[in-house]
Amino acid sequence: MWKRNWWLSEGSRGSLVFGVQERLQELGYEVPKDGEYAFETKEAVCRWQREAGLPATGVLSPANIEQLWQEAGKRLHIGSAQALPDSDFAGISLWVSLKRQRLYVYSQGKQVKTYPVSCGRAATPTPQGVFRILEMWETDSSLGSRWLSFTPYRHSIHSLPAGQLPGKASTLGCLQMVEADLEELCSYLQVGTPLVVSCREQLPQKTESQWLYYYPQKGEGIEDICHRYHVGISQLLVANNVQRKEELAACPHLLIPTG
């Protein structure tokens, strides 16, 4: 139920970068824990890659990330992005009110759950808009046991640091929840669940995402993807800014219009 598709390099930021920095510190490397993949982090990654017998590129592939976690004695579960087992609710969608610092769970348009959250501070605000849950990861770090991304830039929903309470604008742009709440929330979700993030007092009427960030599976053809999402090849070409079908097939991920 998980997806192997993360690459990190200088300029990356967010929860996974924080986790990498945490692992590097545990292995004895001097590196800040700020969620920013800047020069110091890149240099530490290069040193770790050399000592691990890997090419010192400063770029972390999914296999590198998994190896880093293993060397630090931690568990990072990676697999394919398939739907979670059937949840207790059908037709699930999520709404986050930044003003109220709350996450609301809707089933068939009816509110069934609500959880307190923390959002991004003024300098690093949580992005507003209509999204989908893109990736669901199970991990073992100070970020908690679950990690859900909802933008191509790795904005995510993850656990609050130990000892912190929700309801504060204190993050790097991600949404943070009490770990027990997040684990319960995950039992209702699957990859593709719609998510609205807004400062509004009421849920916007349209909760359907206008796009989906999709990672093709091994052996999956462009025609298969078009059939699954009811889009034409010409729509995919325009959405992904390419000219030929062969270029689509070479893309590691595809932007799919679903509005």
Q: At the fourth CATH level, which superfamily is domain 92-198? A: L,D-transpeptidase catalytic domain-like (2.40.440.10)
Task: Look at residue 179 and give its three-state secondary structure.
Answer: helix
Q: What is the pLDDT of residue 58?
A: 93
Q: What is the pLDDT of residue 90?
A: 54
211-257 topology per CATH: Membrane-bound Lytic Murein Transglycosylase D; Chain A (3.10.350)
Q: What is the pLDDT of residue 10?
A: 84
- Indicate the burial class of 66 (C-beta count within 10 angstroms; 0-12, 13-18, 19 or more): middle
- DSSP H or E run through 22: helix 15-26
Task: Look at residue 180 and give its three-state secondary structure.
Answer: helix
Q: What is the pLDDT of residue 152?
A: 65
Q: Where are the domains of the chain?
A: 15-77, 92-198, 211-257
Q: What is the pLDDT of residue 153?
A: 66
Q: What is the pLDDT of residue 88?
A: 47
Binned average pLDDT, 10 residues per bin, the chain of 259 residues: 60 74 92 87 95 93 86 64 44 88 85 91 87 77 80 82 88 92 86 82 52 70 80 74 79 70
Q: What is the pLDDT of residue 81?
A: 36
15-77 topology per CATH: Muramoyl-pentapeptide Carboxypeptidase; domain 1 (1.10.101)
Q: What is the pLDDT of residue 135?
A: 74
Q: Do domains 15-77 and 92-198 have the same CATH topology?
A: no
